[in-house]
Amino acid sequence: MLDLARLRADTPGAELVAHLNNCGSSLPPQPVVDAMVDYLQAEARTGGYEIAADRADELGDFYDATAQYLGCDPSEVAFSSGAAEAWWRAFTSVPLSAGDRILVTSSEYQANAFGWMTATERGVDVEIIPNDDDGVVDLDAMVERIDERVRLVSFTMISLGNGAVQPAAEAARRLRATGSNAFFLLDACQAAGQLPLDVDELGCDFLVYTGRKFMRGPRGTGVLFVRSGVLDRLGPPVFVDGRSAIWRPDGGYEVLPGAQRFEFGEFGYGAKVGLATATRYLLDVGTAAIAERVQSLATRLRADLEAIDGAHVHDQGRIRSGIVTFTVDGVASPDLCATLRARGVNTSAPHRSAAQLDLGARGINDVVRAGVHYFNTDQELDRLLEVVQAAATNQGG
């Protein structure tokens, strides 16, 4: 059982707003804020280089905490400025040539899509794995598309505009069963922080996520996991600096042996401490308890929205996440989102341009998106439902 009173006391914003935009950017708990402010104040008093040396263990805990969450070795973890940067660093390290193939899912985010779009300009073929009637990736269709030319499967665990939790672990297992050595790149951006993640169970070669969403970390932070067993098969990082590699006397360079080869030496040091603190906070609360609480709130919200005449829930999948997407007849989603904001309820309204293979393919221009988290309450869901009911009633005359 979660100590909801303590968790909300740790979340100052919970007293000010019903924050249901945790799939966009969540409210960081006070310990995360305190850790970041303390580090920045120490940096101002002592100097950036000096405090980094003094607090090397605190900065290094980012790797230890993340490794504990993902079930990997700390050397397989890299810090990034966000999921998009992490995804691009992984993607650009995969050797691709004209005639090679990439398989992608309909859940791809626009930043990822831009990656494989640029690859097509080099003669790489990209093919979309279709979904079944429930909005779940058709794994039989994926297997049918596997051949010796497939170099990468880019898989998104949860779409930004669709509540479905996609079967990432089963996809990886089916991929390996074919004998393919294609890389499996998993975007867990919307899964991290609301679900337990174990990279061995998931079977991924790469995994990326951002700190600002369900992880409750600061903006401008992210994680890249790179399985140590695939490093020798990767090309050199596209961007390299003194953190990523060593400049040899012979004029060449040697990249670092682990995932840190994908890092730059300059980043938000206080933010790194903040994400480490957020990860420790997550582990302390308990990932299983978080997943259960999120599932309960999201299930209740979907049911109550579906009971409102004129409201339509657009989530798919046999297993659903804490992301709930919906529209109201006759009301533009951005306008409804703004009305909710004015009533103290935070949501977002993603446009089809961010998820063309999902929202666009279903003919949905935009949706209101609520992302519930473990510190949310039934009373906060009621506030959202009251606004939606009023909007639907007004449209219905």
pLDDT tens digits for range 102-144: 999 999 998 999 999 999 999 999 999 999 999 999 999 999 9
**201 and 348 share one domain:** no
- Counting Cβ atoms within 10 Å, is residue 72 exposed (0-12), middle (13-18) or buried (19+)? buried
Per the structure, how many domains does the chain have?
Answer: 2
**193 and 206 share one domain:** yes
Answer whether residue 176 shows pLDDT above 70: yes
Cα–Cα distance for residue pair 382/155, rounded to 1 Å: 34
Cα–Cα distance for residue pair 247/89, rounded to 1 Å: 20
Residue 397 has a pLDDT of 58
Residue 395 has a pLDDT of 82
**Backbone phi and psi for residue 287, each to the nearest 5 degrees, phi listed first:** -65, -35
**265 and 334 share one domain:** no
Domain of residue 191, residue span: 30-284
pLDDT tens column, 264-279: 999 999 999 999 999 9
**276 and 147 share one domain:** yes
Out of 284, 302, 332, a domain closes at 284
The domain that contains 274 carries what CATH number?
A: 3.40.640.10
**241 and 294 share one domain:** no
**241 and 299 share one domain:** no
Q: Which residues, 6 or more positions from 147, have their beta carbon under 8 angstroms from its beta carbon?
A: 101
Q: Bridge partners of 128? A: 104
Answer whether residue 213 shows pLDDT above 80: yes
pLDDT tens column, 331-389: 999 999 999 999 999 999 999 999 998 999 999 999 999 999 999 999 999 999 999 99
Quote the mean pLDDT of the chain. Answer: 96
Are 152 and 129 a contacting pair, CB within 8 Å?
Answer: no
Find where tokens 């779940």 sit.
136
**229 and 93 share one domain:** yes
Q: What is the pTM assigned to this prediction? A: 0.96
**172 and 93 share one domain:** yes
**278 and 299 share one domain:** no
By C-alpha distance, which of 294, 321, 372 is closest to 165? 321
**Pair of tokens at residue 22:** 């945790």
**219 and 317 share one domain:** no
Are 36 and 275 a contacting pair, CB within 8 Å?
Answer: no
Out of 284, 309, 331, a domain closes at 284
**91 and 200 share one domain:** yes
**321 and 386 share one domain:** yes
Cα–Cα distance for residue pair 301/384, rounded to 1 Å: 9
**Pair of tokens at residue 50:** 């000096």
Out of 231, 257, 284, a domain closes at 284
Q: What is the mean pLDDT of residues 159-180?
A: 95
